[in-house]
Amino acid sequence: MTRPAILAIDQGTTSSRAIVFDSYGRVVTVAQEEFAQIYPRPGWVEHYPEVIWATVLSTVRKALAEADRAEIEIACLGVTNQRETTLVWERSTGRPIHNAIVWQDRRTAKQCQALEAKGHGKRVAERAGLVLDPYFSATKIAWILDNVPGARRRADNGDLAFGTVESFLINRLTGGKVHVTDATNASRTSLYALEAGDWDDELLALFDIPRAVLPEVVDCAGALGTTDEEVLGRAIAITGAAGDQQAAAIGQACLAPGEMKSTYGTGAFLLLNTGDKPVISTNRLLATTAWRLDGKSSFALEGSILSAGATIQWLRDGLGIIARASEVESLAEGAEADSGVYLVPAFTGLGAPHWNADARGLICGLTRGAGRAEIARAALDSTAYQTRDLLDAMAADGAEAARLKVDGGMAANDALMQRLADICDVDTVRPVNTEITAWGAGFLAGLGAGLFDSLDEAAELWRADREFKPKMRAADRDRLVAGWRDAVRRTMSE
């Protein structure tokens, strides 16, 4: 190892992980802990903030202990996180005043619909690059301030702090000394003006958010803070941060306009690099900050799928037709060919390009011959069909790519990746490094600490594992996609 190692925190929707990488992106050690989801009401999703923190602290300590045993020096730390998930805490104590409201949560759908009805959607799209939807942080913040007794008064007085998960973790890691958010996470709040690169007074007024609660917006690489020795037992420079999907795009070396990746985790998220100018979609996709370095932003066009791996978790935990997520492919292999069964996983509404918070999940096309295998097949296929919807919307916006880089837990499934290539009619490439999201945060940390000279080194370290080329006949593809779109129409009309 010619250079020191990098510690990456990857705080996700269902688990927290700490990974030590060497300076070539190779995994040295991994620690992971899952945690429970909270569903107070239909459509509501929360996390316990102290559980998030406890799992992060535990996994980091385990990873550091492994590194110490191997006599590996940790040079710096990077953080990546589930985006849009919203926390508000007391500045004086660091104590959250409410559970974290998760990105999947739909409790503020009516508020978003009311703003849309008043004609504010265009302004939000033009300034923030986003659609009016409960997915984003702004209405979540307002909900907490309006529903926790005394919170709005305390926020106005500067006693409370808002942050997405990376902001909360950096605050905790530094012993409460630092309150920042990186530009990628800021761009997911509906409060941040993309081109100006800062919080927007018009958007703050629209969503009724006091500026006093907001963190400072910083670059994705640089001196963001230092861990408090009482927290980790040592001081480590925090030098990188990005939302999980932007970190994955960096890890996948989608560095030039037109390069595209899709990450398949709890949800699925497709990002297309659009260069130094945001592209405001006319097809209900999102403009977002891809990264900000030295004060200069690059941008991406994004499509967000709310349920991908979560659909497989539902087969396991909700229906009980599999005991482990890894069993789904073998079960699906037994499905009747062309069964006509479709599953639209609108458990918390539909994301891009529909953005329908009221849609609910649907299984259709059932016959007496349909059973567990057909439902498993339909659940897997729903990820491919939803990706096709995003690619079609991007094409309508004039943005097409020659190939799709894939990552995330579901990308390890060869049969699913081939199905994705077939349904989407696009060459699909999986990298050797399966820890792409955490590596993106690690690379940014290395860049911020001076271990790397430029972002271009991410491309030099990227390697392809396998490419999946479309094999399906066009007529078969068109028939299957038409059936999917009919199922989606039924979902939204229920």
Give the residue ranges of the annotated binding site for ADP.
Answer: 13, 17, 266, 309, 409, 413
Stretch (H or E) spanning 133? none
C-alpha 177/C-alpha 105 separation (Å) is 30
Stretch (H or E) spanning 442? helix 436-448
Contact (CB, 8 A) for 115 and 60: no
Residue 39 CA, chain-centre distance (Å), reads 20
Give the Å distances, CA to CA, from 369 to 327, 344, 447, 482, 486: 21, 20, 56, 22, 21
Measured in Å, how far apart are the chain's first and last C-alpha atoms? 58
Annotation: binding site for glycerol: 83-84, 135, 244-245
Stretch (H or E) spanning 195? none
3-state secondary structure of 63: helix
Contact (CB, 8 A) for 299 and 331: no
Residue 186 CA, chain-centre distance (Å), reads 13
Contact (CB, 8 A) for 251 and 433: yes
3-state secondary structure of 322: coil
Annotation: binding site for ATP: 13-15, 266, 309, 313, 409
Q: Measuring CA to CA, which residue among 131, 232, 217, 106 is closest to residue 174?
A: 232
Please state at what angle helix 474-493 crosses helix 372-396, rounded to 10 degrees.
100
The strand pair at 403-407 and 74-81 is best described as unpaired
Q: Looking at the chain, how many residues does it have?
A: 494
Stretch (H or E) spanning 98? none
Annotation: binding site: 13-15, 17, 83-84, 135, 244-245, 266, 309, 313, 409, 413
Give the Å distances, CA to CA, from 260 to 207, 270, 341, 379: 32, 7, 30, 24
Annotation: binding site for sn-glycerol 3-phosphate: 13, 83-84, 135, 244
Both tokens assigned to 320:
């009980």
